[in-house]
Each structure stands twice: as C-alpha cells, then as structure tokens.
Amino acid sequence: MNASFLPGSWRSPVLALALAASLAPAASSAHDSCKQPNAYEQRNLVADRDGFAANTDPNLVNAWGIAFNPFGLVWVNDNGTGLSTLYDGDGVPNPLVVTVPPPPGDTGPGRPTGIVFNGTGQFAVTQGDVSATSFFIFATEQGSITAWAPAINLTNSFTVVDNSSTGANYKGLALAPNGTGFFLYATDFRNGKIDVFDSTFAPATLPGSFTDPFIPSGFAPFGIQNINGNLYVTYAKQDRTRDEELTGKGLGYVSIFDANGRFVRRLISRGKLNAPWGLALAPASFGKFGSKLLVANSGDGIINVYDPQTGHCEGRLEGPDGNTIKIDGLWGLAFGSGVANQPTDTLFFTAGPEDGAHGLYGRLDAVRVSCDRFAPEPESN
C-alpha cells in the first residue's frame, strides 16, 4: 500500500495507532521436516468473556471479518454487536471502536461480515458538503455496505450501498483492480451472486458474471478473497431461508475468477470442505505449510491446507500435541501486517463460538516439535 494515501491529519496518536501440522509421513524424511517449524501453536488473544483469552472485550461478539491496516492495527468485525474493533498482536484493545450501522429503516444493530482496507485513495464518502476518502469498508448481512472516513466521523461508518430491499445478504467483501480501476466485490449469499461496485460505490457491470457453471444448485458464494489479483470464492450450501449456511463434510467449493468476473477454474470440490469462509495464502516462512492455501471451515472449525496450484489437500493445521486444531465458529484468516507485534508469518483468526453467541480473536504461530511425532498421510480432497 502507498502511504501517500494517508492524509496528514492521521498523524495524531489515536489515528496512527488505529491504522498504524506435522512431520512428513515417511520416517526417511523426518529429519528434513524437523529442520523447520512443523506444528502450530494457538493463542487466544481476545474474547467477549473472562477466562477464555488473554484479554476481554465485550464488544467482540461473533468476530467475523478481519483486515489489517498495513501501517497499524488489525480491524475485526463484530457481527453480534454491530461494531468493528481494533487490536494489536497481543490482543490489547484499542480505544477506537467504530459503529457499522444497519440499513435505513432497520432498527437493530448492523451485522457486519466482510471487511477490506482501502489504500487506493478512492471510494470517497460524502456527508452534506464534505467528502473524504474511506479507509475501511464493511459488508453486512442486511445487504448494505458502509465505509469509514475518519475525516468526516471517527467513530461511525456511513451507508454507501443499500440493497436491503432486494433481500441481499452480504457475507463477504473483497477489493481488487481489474486494469481499468478499483472495484468492490460482495458475495450475496441469499441471491446466489456477487455484486460489484466501482470506486464511487455505484453498481458496476464487468465482462464476466462470476459464474462457475459446475456449481450445483443450492450452493451460493460465501467468502471471497483477493489473492495475487485473482478472486477466490468459497461456496456454501444454503438452508431453506437461503440466509444461513448448512454444515457437513463435503459441503463446499472454492473457485477462482479474475477481477473481471471471468471464471478461471475450480480449485477445490467438496472433500474436507465444510461451509468454508476464510482464505489465506501462507508466506514461505509459515513452517511446514509455507506457500500453501489455507481454508477455514466454519462448519467444523478446521483449517485445511491445499496446494494453491492443484487444489490437492495437503493436510490440516495441528497443534504441538499432534491433534487437529479446531476453533468453534471459525470465520476469518489473515496474516499479520508486520507492525504492532503482528508478524507477517503469524496467522490470525476470528470466530463466533457457540453459534455466534460469543467472540474470539487469536493467532497461530508455527513452532518446532519433537521428531518423535509423525503426522498421518496427507488426506484426499
């Protein structure tokens, strides 16, 4: 990101801070595998209840979307409280708390899901005669998109898209350039499509329609992530209302599209997927699973690992004890920004335990364990 996009007023202290597995299966390869971290240690940093993490923040209920400011702290969407909260790499809450409002006419709180950091210098918010660039943009389950422009209001975001009348239910959000400009991409789970908006938040029509022609009926776009310029979309099975996802082994797909909405290919089909939402491409330094694609199952809390080229399942993240890591209500995945004790090779996660009634934010660090522990054979897709 280009730091020149940040206005001079952001030099104030508050705003600066706010923005600022396993061994190889064959014994003969065990020695090589032990030369690098081969397991992952889970640290629960923040929870909404005492005794569940190092820090307590009652605002953190059904922690969902996660986005790092490349110059500062992580932002976490709190779906259960209609807020977005900020933390450092140890989970210490920042005083800044931003409200994500519901669409006009909705009397409940906003229900934010996906979130993106905007460093483009575009996507301005206008209130009255004042316009200012937004720096974080949020999607909601009520079919709205809101944007935070601190030059206009430090503690509130503003509704910039309202598709609540169409029944839209935005579960995920991504931002990407397509060669002609920057666009927002929102997964409308209820209506089974991806809505696209230009840098003025106006609806946009692209050459492609974000259609995977081989997705069975009843599956809809769920999560979305910009990975190296392509858009990776997860699909989950809709319930009867089409507002919530069904869980179960094999209920999921991951497909790749270019930023113009053209279908590139199906990467992962069913297999270990279980209502997948979060996606992250690991850096090379992420231990045994460096440079692999990590997929977070909201259905069973498991983070499965895939070859990013072939989609072959390479395994799943395991703790130092050899047990599979399972995080109740798992949602988002993201690697740190490299500042505020948020290492670029540490995987941070969000979750809404007990069916979204509570919240959890934590981290997974690659660690080295004894070579006496061997992992099972890589699992099939």
Work out the average pLDDT over 312-318.
98
| 337 within domain boundaries | yes
Report the mean per-residue pLDDT for the chain. Answer: 92
For the segment 300-329, the average pLDDT, to the nearest whole number, is 98
pLDDT of residue 37: 85
Q: What is the pLDDT of residue 283?
A: 99
In degrees, rounded to 5, the angle at the alpha carbon of residue 248 between the alpha carbons of residues 306 and 307 is 5
Task: Please check the confidence at residue 341 and state whether its pLDDT lies above 80.
Answer: yes
Domain membership of residue 31 (yes or no) is: no
Residue 114 vs residue 369, higher pLDDT: 114
| 46-65 tens-digit pLDDT | 999 999 999 999 999 999 99
Question: What's the pLDDT score for residue 9?
Answer: 44
pLDDT tens digits along 154-194: 999 999 999 999 999 999 999 999 999 999 999 999 999 99
Question: At 304, is the secondary structure helix, strand, or coil?
Answer: strand
Give Cα 343 distance to the centre of its chain: 17
The distance in angstroms from the start CA to the end CA of the chain is 35
Half-sphere exposure of 101 (CA within 13 A, CB side): 16
**Residue 90 falls within a domain, yes or no?**
yes
57/92 Cα distance (integer angstroms): 9
pLDDT at 76 over 70: yes
pLDDT > 60? residue 29 = no
Residue range(s) defining the domain that contains residue 85: 14-21+36-367
pTM above 0.85, yes or no: yes
Domain total in the chain: 1
**Which tokens go with 348?**
């941070």
User: Strand 136-140's sheet: what is its strand order?
Assistant: 112-117, 136-140, 144-148, 158-162
Alpha-carbon distance 205 to 260, whole Å? 9
Higher-pLDDT residue of 378 and 109 is: 109
223 lies in a domain? yes
In a domain, 372, yes or no: no
Q: What is the pLDDT of residue 376?
A: 52
Instruction: State the pLDDT at residue 14.
Output: 47
User: What CATH number is attached to the domain comprising 284?
Assistant: 2.120.10.30
Instruction: Tokens 């708390």: give the residue.
Output: 97
Instruction: Quote the pLDDT of residue 370.
Output: 74
What is residue 33's predicted lDDT score, i.e. its pLDDT? 53
* 300 domain residue, yes or no: yes
- Per the domain annotation, does 317 fall within a domain? yes
Report angle CA 302, 236, 350 to the nearest 5 degrees. 45
Say yes or no to pLDDT of 360 above 90. yes
Mean pLDDT of 15-43: 59
Over residues 14-20, the mean pLDDT reads 49
CB contact at 8 A, 9 and 18: no
Least confident range from 12-26, 248-262, 302-316: namely 12-26
Read off the pLDDT band of 1 (50, 70, 90). very low
pLDDT at 25 exceeding the cut of 60: no
Interval 200-213: pLDDT, tens: 999 999 999 999 99
Within a domain: 26: no
- Higher local confidence (pLDDT), 372 or 92: 92
For 26-36, what is the mean pLDDT?
A: 50
